[in-house]
Structure formats: structure tokens, C-alpha cells
Amino acid sequence: MKINIYYGGRGMMDDPTLYVINKMQAVLEELHVTVERFNLNELKNSITTLPQTIKTADGIILASTVEWYGIGGYMYQFLDSCWLYGDKEKIAKTYMCPIVMSTTYGEREGKQTLAVAWEILGGLPCSGICGYIADIAIFDDNEAYTRIIEKKAENLYRTVNQKIASFPASNQAVKQMVSNTQNIDLTPQESEQLSQYVSDDSFVKRQKQDIQELASLFRGMMDENEQEDSEEEFIREFKGHFSPKPGFKAIYKFMVEGKRKPFIIEIDGMENNYYYGHTESADIELQVSRETLNDIIYARMTFQRAFMGGSMKMKGDFKVLRMLDQIFIF
């Protein structure tokens, strides 16, 4: 028989939980039980892989200390890992004895938390130990406490050895009906590999870097697509409404708000050219917002009215400006 002990305290010398699990370990070893202990405070970087160690155990002890509120973060992290990466079929056959000592209020709630968590995981909880111990010296002064611990260890041995049955827990039935948790559909082997990856800091760091690189790549692709779409804006509308005037020649430079490049229109009689870029030979330079230009395109306003109303600014020959309303009929 093998029993694993998972200790979720901070490892302080005056931790009463350490005294209890040391005494239980000694009793179990006298009964020829193989005992392996995992101190979560020392294995905090690999807690996600520890649920795999349950596979070799017939029973486990979950031990924690209530120092101010609750059973502590290391134990919660271990239980989370059991939910995400543990072999549920093996957990369902594994007995668990909760041990919670407190130096403040809350030992009974802590013991109940461990029992309920193990039941929700599908496991088999045993009768555990909880108590308020302000000073571990109390154990030396009261042999009755030692006998309680020894009896609990013997009961755990008897329960695991005889595989004593227990009634189904209602929280299992309720969980199946109301839980919305989406479990990852993985085999036990895949869960073990995933838990190893999660505990590997270098792997996690590399994955984050890869995600950032992909995000930058897609962002660049989106920017390129947006730029391509942006450089086609207004060209089709102007080209479709061009009404040539023989002998008229001019270059218009539109500085459209929000555009990185000027919108250039080159008119030479029947010829017309439209593009986003730069030119040093513009006859007229116009500053206009995208909204005003759309109003002109959809015939809600003319170029001259936009200029006179202050919605468009101009630098150049006013006669060239007036021709816009004649060569582009919106």
C-alpha cells in the first residue's frame, strides 16, 4: 500500500499541521505502508505536474494550515491542477484524508473545503482531523491528542486496505446538472503532457513570445489591408463622375483628414489620373475632412459651398477651384 501526503502550508517550524502529518507518517510506516510526501511550498513551480503522482497511490492525505483565512494558495493551486490535469478515473478510486490545523479561526471550514473539493473531483473522502492549535507545545502536554492522531492514521489504513464503500455525494449529482465548466477532452497521457508544459517556465515564455509575434504579424497584415482599402477610397467616385473640359489642365492635391498621403487628381483635357502620393507641381492644394468630401460626392454640398462655408481650405488659384464643380458632376 502507498499513501501520498500533500502538504500545503508554508513549512514553518511551529506549524501544527507538520506535527500531525509527521506523527501519521510514522504510524503508517509502522504498518508497512509506503509514504511519500510532497511539500507544495518547495514544489510550487511544478504543482501542475503533481496530480500525476496520484496514479501510484492507494490513498492520499491533503494537509494544510489555516493561518488567517482559508487553506492557503498552494493547496488551492494543487486542487485546480487535479481538476485540469488529473486522471479522473484514478481519482475516483482514491481515498483522501483531510488534515487542517489552524492558528486562528476556520479549521472546520478548511476541512470541509478539502472534503467537498475531493468529492467534486470524484474522489472518496475519509474522516479527517481538524483542530485549533495556538502552540504546538500543547501536543507534548496532552497524550490524548497523540492517540487521536494515531487512531486517525489507523482508520485511514483500514479504510484504504479494506476499500470501505461510501454513499454517493449529492454535490456530484448537482455538479453534473448545473456545472457549465467546459472540460478539456484529453486523454490522461495528454493531460500529463499538458501539465508538464504548463509547469515549464521556458516553454510558457516561448509560447507567449510566439503569440506576440503572431499578433504582430496579423496586425501588420490588417494594416496592409486597411492601407490598400484606404488608397482606393474616393478614386472610383471621382473617376465615375468625371466630365472632361477640352483644353483644361490642372493638378489638384487634396489633404484629406486621416489620410497619410495626399489624394492627387491630374486633369489634362480628356485624360485623368487619380492616386495617393506626393507631387510638387500641384496647381491648388485643398484641406478637407473625409466627412465633407463624402458630402460633396453624395451631392449634399458643392466644392465652392464647402470652401465658402469654411469646411474646406484652399491654397492656390480660385478659378481652378471653381472648375472642380464643372469637371466632376455629382
pLDDT band at 159 (very low <50, low <70, confident <90, very high): very high
Residues in CB range of 82: below 8 A, 6 or more apart:
51, 54, 91, 121
Whether residues 245 and 187 fall in one domain: no
- By the 10 Å C-beta count (0-12 exposed, 13-18 middle, 19+ buried), 310 is classed as exposed
What is the predicted pLDDT for the residue at 214? Answer: 76
pLDDT tens for 237-249 read: 899 899 999 899 9
Averaged pLDDT for residues 263-280: 91
Q: Does residue 225 belong to any structural domain of this protein?
A: no
CA distance 150 to 162: 18
Residues in CB range of 93: below 8 A, 6 or more apart:
124
Averaged pLDDT for residues 52-59: 94
Whether residues 110 and 257 fall in one domain: no
Q: Does residue 44 belong to any structural domain of this protein?
A: yes
What is the predicted pLDDT for the residue at 317? Answer: 86
What is the predicted pLDDT for the residue at 292? Answer: 93
Whether residues 195 and 239 fall in one domain: no
Whether residues 195 and 289 fall in one domain: no
Q: Does residue 253 belong to any structural domain of this protein?
A: yes
- Residue 35: enclosing H or E segment and its boundaries? strand 34-39
Residue 156 phi, psi (nearest 5): -60, -45
Whether residues 45 and 93 fall in one domain: yes
CA distance 41 to 39: 6
How large a percentage of the chain has pLDDT more than 70?
85
* More confident of the two residues 204 and 3: 3
CATH number, domain containing residue 95: 3.40.50.360
- By the 10 Å C-beta count (0-12 exposed, 13-18 middle, 19+ buried), 153 is classed as buried
Answer for the pair 71, 114: CB distance below 8 angstroms, yes or no: yes
CATH number, domain containing residue 266: 3.30.1050.10
pLDDT tens for 81-136 read: 999 989 989 999 999 999 999 999 999 999 999 999 999 999 999 999 999 998 89
Whether residues 127 and 29 fall in one domain: yes
Averaged pLDDT for residues 290-313: 91
Residues in CB range of 233: below 8 A, 6 or more apart:
none
- By the 10 Å C-beta count (0-12 exposed, 13-18 middle, 19+ buried), 293 is classed as buried
Whether residues 32 and 125 fall in one domain: yes
What is the predicted pLDDT for the residue at 197? Answer: 59
What is the predicted pLDDT for the residue at 228? Answer: 46
Whether residues 166 and 88 fall in one domain: yes
Percentages helix, strand, coil for the chain, rounded to the nearest 5? 50, 20, 30
Residues in CB range of 183: below 8 A, 6 or more apart:
none
Last residue of a domain, one of 182, 199, 216: 199
What is the predicted pLDDT for the residue at 79? Answer: 95
Alpha helices (H) in the chain, listed in sequence order: 16-30, 73-85, 88-91, 107-121, 137-141, 143-162, 170-178, 188-199, 201-230, 235-240, 290-297, 303-308, 318-327
The predicted model scores a pTM of: 0.59
Would the pLDDT of 221 be above 90?
A: no
What is the predicted pLDDT for the residue at 209? Answer: 77
Whether residues 288 and 185 fall in one domain: no
Name which of 63-67, 207-211, 262-266, 324-328 the model is least confident about: 207-211
CA distance 42 to 203: 21
Question: 24 lies in which domain range?
Answer: 2-199
Would the pLDDT of 273 be above 70?
A: yes
pLDDT tens for 169-187 read: 776 665 665 555 555 555 6
Answer for the pair 296, 324: CB distance below 8 angstroms, yes or no: no
Q: Does residue 130 belong to any structural domain of this protein?
A: yes
Q: Does residue 177 belong to any structural domain of this protein?
A: yes
Range with the largest mean pLDDT of 144-158, 206-220, 296-310:
144-158
Whether residues 191 and 242 fall in one domain: no
Residue 313, beta-bridge partner list: 287
What is Dmax (Cα atoms) for the chain? 115
What is the predicted pLDDT for the residue at 280? Answer: 86
pLDDT tens for 21-46 read: 999 999 999 999 999 999 999 998 88
Would the pLDDT of 64 be above 60?
A: yes
Residue 316, beta-bridge partner list: 284
Q: Does residue 322 belong to any structural domain of this protein?
A: yes
Last residue of a domain, one of 199, 219, 251: 199
Last residue of a domain, one of 199, 226, 254: 199
How large a percentage of the chain has pLDDT more than 90?
58
Q: Rounded mean pLDDT of the chain?
A: 86
Q: Does residue 218 belong to any structural domain of this protein?
A: no
Whether residues 187 and 253 fall in one domain: no
Whether residues 184 and 253 fall in one domain: no
Would the pLDDT of 270 be above 80?
A: yes
Q: Does residue 24 belong to any structural domain of this protein?
A: yes
Number of domains in the chain: 2
* More confident of the two residues 184 and 3: 3
What is the predicted pLDDT for the residue at 259? Answer: 86
